[in-house]
Structure formats: structure tokens, C-alpha cells
Amino acid sequence: MARAQPAANLERRILEAKPATADALAAFGQIVGSASGVELKASGFYEGKVRTGNPAEFVSDSDATLTLAVIDRRPMEVRFMEQHFKHTQTFIPLGGKPFVAVMAPPNGKDTPDLDKVEAFLFDGCAGFNMKIGTWHEFPFALIDGTELIVILRNETNRDLRKIEGGEARGPDLDKKDLQRRFGVVFEVRL
């Protein structure tokens, strides 16, 4: 068993904390957030109010990815809901800005149970991780420029580009247009 070094022989090294910038962290990793310089692109939905990009080289032994989403305020109307079959999806806020998430529990069906849809107000101090099969809409910003880190499968991003009839479908995604299918749009009130 090693003996503790006596305090008299202790070398104390002082570290001056420096700003965590992309350049300062380059030897260790990458900034996660808009400070990374990530190029953001509008999603195929939400009229440009949701822009995403990959702020860091996320490495995994599966098809997982880390995405930065910057969202602006848009009408809090839920026309679309989607579910994922292969992964839990995580949303983590940056900057402490509040947002709203709309979800319906997994039901093993082709469409969400419209009577079980709920809206949740997040204060920006915590995010959420959804169960596989949870029906949801992309979160709503209460403040323009709200940043969320999204952990999901790359397959989902590929599936979201397969838009047919205003909906998207793939091996890990089923995104339904509630207005077209049921004549229903949910309106969120705070």
C-alpha cells in the first residue's frame, strides 16, 4: 500500500481557468453548442424555425449522433407527431432557456392516442429522455435561439428526409400529419 506524501513535500500546482473556447479545447475535444461554429440547416418541417447541425464529432459503436438544434418561436400548434422504433431520444437544453415538449405515451400503434397527448413546460434547467415509441412533436421555443442538444440515431435524420405526402417514414421513424389524418391540431397554452 502506498503511503501518502507528507504535506511538507507536497507540490501544489495552480491552474488558471481560461475561457472554454473552441480553440482552447481543440486538443481535448469540441465545444457543444453554437460556439462550435456548426453550420445549421433548416429541417424539412417547421418553416425554418428548427435548424440543426452536428457540433462535434460524436463517436459511438452504433448509429448514434449528437445534434445541435437551434429553435425559434413558432405557433404552438401540434400538427405532426412522430415516434422512433430503435432508440430513446434525448433533448438537453443549453443556456437555460425554457421550452415546451408535447408527447403521447408509446402505444404500439400506427398513430398516437389523441386522448393521451400532453404538453410539458421545461424551465431550461433539465431536459428529457423519451422511451422508445413515445409519440412527440419537436420542442417549442419560448425564446428565439433556444439551443437543444439532441441525442438520436443518424438513421432518424435520414428517415426525416424521406417525405411523402407531407409525412416521413423509415426503419426508425414514423412521422404522422394529424391534421390530414384526423382533422386535429393541438394548441398549447401556457
Task: Give 34-187's CATH code, choosing from 2.60.120.480, 1.10.10.10, 2.60.40.10, 1.10.287.130.
Answer: 2.60.120.480
Cα distance between residue 40 and residue 173, in whole Å: 22
All three cell numbers of 87: 432508440
Residues of the chain with pLDDT below 50 are none
Per-position DSSP letters for 29-42, written without gaps between them: ----SGGG-PPPEE
User: Element (H or E) spanning 51, and its range?
Assistant: strand 50-53
Looking at residue 8, what is its pLDDT? 73
All three cell numbers of 183: 382533422
* Cβ–Cβ < 8 Å for 49, 71: yes
The Cβ-side half-sphere exposure at 190, using a 13 Å CA radius, reads 12
98: buried, middle or exposed (CB in 10 Å: 19+, 13-18, 0-12)? middle
Looking at residue 36, what is its pLDDT? 75
105: buried, middle or exposed (CB in 10 Å: 19+, 13-18, 0-12)? middle
Domain ranges of the chain: 34-187
* Cβ–Cβ < 8 Å for 55, 68: yes
Per-position DSSP letters for 115-180, written without gaps between them: GG-EEEEE-SS--EEEPTT-EEEEEEESSTTEEEEEEEEHHHHHHHT-EETTEEEETTEEEEEHHH
* pTM, rounded to two decimals: 0.78
Which pLDDT tens digit goes with each residue over 42-92? Answer: 888 888 899 888 777 766 778 888 898 999 999 999 999 999 999 889 999
Looking at residue 143, what is its pLDDT? 98
Looking at residue 5, what is its pLDDT? 55
The Cβ-side half-sphere exposure at 61, using a 13 Å CA radius, reads 0
All three cell numbers of 169: 417514414
